[in-house]
Amino acid sequence: YNLTLPIPSRTLLVAPMYHAAAMINMCGCIAVGGTLIIQEDFIPKDVVHSLSKDRVTHTVLVPAMIQACLMTVPEVDKLDYNELDQIHYGASPIAPETLKKAMDVFGCKFAQGFGMTETVAVICAMTSDDHIRAINEKPELLKSCGRPLVDTLVEIRDENDKPLPVGEIGQICAKGPQIMKGYWNKEEETKKALSGGWMHTGDAGRMDAEGFVYIQDRIKDMIVSGGENIYSTEVEAVLFSHSDVVDAAVIGVPDDKYGEVVKACVVKKKDSRLKANELIEFCKEKIASYKKPQSVDFIDEVPRNASGKVLKKVLREPYWKDKDRQVS
């Protein structure tokens, strides 16, 4: 996986520059003598119009930004993006329907990086060629975050830290030259994260026979309802496929019978008349009934940090106050 930028390069930076992905893309642009176009805040309309009118060749966005551009800018599919060569994305999983629509609307190459600050941003990459293959012959690849980088080992491990066979879900662990040495002055946290010399990402996932990695969820965000594991990203992907959903996050909330059940927190289009029961039925038609939301909250905004990751602790906290489940 190479970050190969077009020359001359004009890179639009919207993601915070202290974030590893933004820093890598910024330095890449500078290295090839390119031009940086920096926007102070993420305003979907400004981003879309910059991609069209400022001769932008490349940008890096998080999935929530891509979704917002597609859903809240009415003219997004009417503008020309003649100079736009590639969009890189990462920081959280992207719904396949969102990705397919983005590829169609912007008409450029897409590439994804998966990793964390502790791995210098990337351990796996889904290249532009992988995206093309997904569209042409293997659509399930749109759910993947790609394959390990050169000189990087990735394994899926169980709760006893043993490697799992192909296709089974466990924790994504990585080893390579980009892995951190440790957390500053946090010996116990370092020992736990780097157990056996492998970085334990905290992400649940699986690997296929070709080495493509599929993120299921953050381990702490997995919902256990009546003994069944429910991965919030699967439910969120269905929600995002509804034409009236602008943004969404799925959490588990307490339930006397099942321990916890699925709740969807949804931002819908302005002036949408979508009702909770209609959205629940929509989900029921696309996933197993036990995975569908049992309730829906329509909210003004999904809370996210500066890197675009959903703050599920904030969403869960009111429901789990004074309960045993951890919400950190």
Q: In what order do the strands lie in the sheet with 245-255?
A: 245-255, 259-268, 295-298
What is the pLDDT, as a whole number, of residue 326? Answer: 44
What is the pLDDT, as a whole number, of residue 177? Answer: 96
The CATH number of the domain holding residue 156 is: 2.30.38.10
Whether 262 maps to a domain, the answer reads yes
What is the pLDDT, as a whole number, of residue 1? Answer: 55
Q: Rounded to the nearest 5°, which phi and psi values hold at 55?
A: 55, 35
What is the pLDDT, as a whole number, of residue 3? Answer: 64
Whether 99 maps to a domain, the answer reads yes
Q: pLDDT for 177-191, tens place per residue?
A: 999 999 999 999 999
pLDDT, mean of residues 14-22? 84
What is the pLDDT, as a whole number, of residue 328? Answer: 33
Instruction: Identify the band that residue 325 occupies on the pLDDT scale cut at 50, 70 and 90.
Output: very low
The CATH number of the domain holding residue 251 is: 3.30.300.30
Indicate if 207 and 233 belong to the same structural domain.
no
Q: Which two tokens stand for residue 237?
A: 């992907």
What is the pLDDT, as a whole number, of residue 229? Answer: 92
Whether 119 maps to a domain, the answer reads no
pTM of the model: 0.87
Whether 131 maps to a domain, the answer reads no
Helix 96-106 crosses helix 128-136 at what angle (to 10 degrees)? 100
Instruction: Identify the band that residue 91 occupies on the pLDDT scale cut at 50, 70 and 90.
Output: confident
Indicate if 88 and 158 belong to the same structural domain.
no
What is the pLDDT, as a whole number, of residue 259? Answer: 92
What is the pLDDT, as a whole number, of residue 19? Answer: 82
The CATH number of the domain holding residue 74 is: 3.40.50.980
Read off the DSSP letter of residue 163: B
Q: Which two tokens stand for residue 234?
A: 């699967």
What is the pLDDT, as a whole number, of residue 92? Answer: 80
Whether 133 maps to a domain, the answer reads no
State the Cα–Cα distance between residues 234 and 62, nearest whole angstrom. 18
Q: Rounded to the nearest 5°, which phi and psi values hold at 258?
A: -105, 0
Indicate if 212 and 261 belong to the same structural domain.
no
Indicate if 166 and 191 belong to the same structural domain.
yes
What is the pLDDT, as a whole number, of residue 6? Answer: 80
Q: pLDDT for 104-158, tens place per residue?
A: 999 999 999 999 989 988 999 999 999 999 999 999 999 999 999 999 999 999 9
Q: Is the pLDDT reported for residue 327 higher than 60?
A: no
Pairing of strands 109-114, 124-126: antiparallel
Provide the domain count of the chain: 3
State the Cα–Cα distance between residues 222 and 217, nearest whole angstrom. 6
Q: Is the pLDDT reported for residue 18 higher than 90?
A: no
Q: pLDDT for 282-321, tens place per residue?
A: 999 999 999 999 999 999 999 998 878 899 999 999 998 8
Q: Which residue range is the domain that position 270 belongs to?
A: 222-320
Contact between residue 221 and residue 312 where contact means Cβ atoms under 8 Å apart: yes
State the Cα–Cα distance between residues 182 and 114, nearest whole angstrom. 20
CA-wise closest residue to 203 among 123, 88, 290, 103: 123
Indicate if 103 and 192 belong to the same structural domain.
no
Pairing of strands 35-38, 10-13: parallel
Indicate if 21 and 110 belong to the same structural domain.
yes
State the Cα–Cα distance between residues 312 and 220, nearest whole angstrom. 10
State the Cα–Cα distance between residues 145 and 203, nearest whole angstrom. 12
The chain-wide mean pLDDT, for the chain, equals 93
C-alpha angle 108/172/311, rounded to 5°?
70
| Boundary of a domain, candidates 218, 238, 270 | 218
Whether 325 maps to a domain, the answer reads no
Q: pLDDT for 173-228, tens place per residue?
A: 999 999 999 999 999 999 999 999 999 999 999 999 999 999 999 998 999 999 99
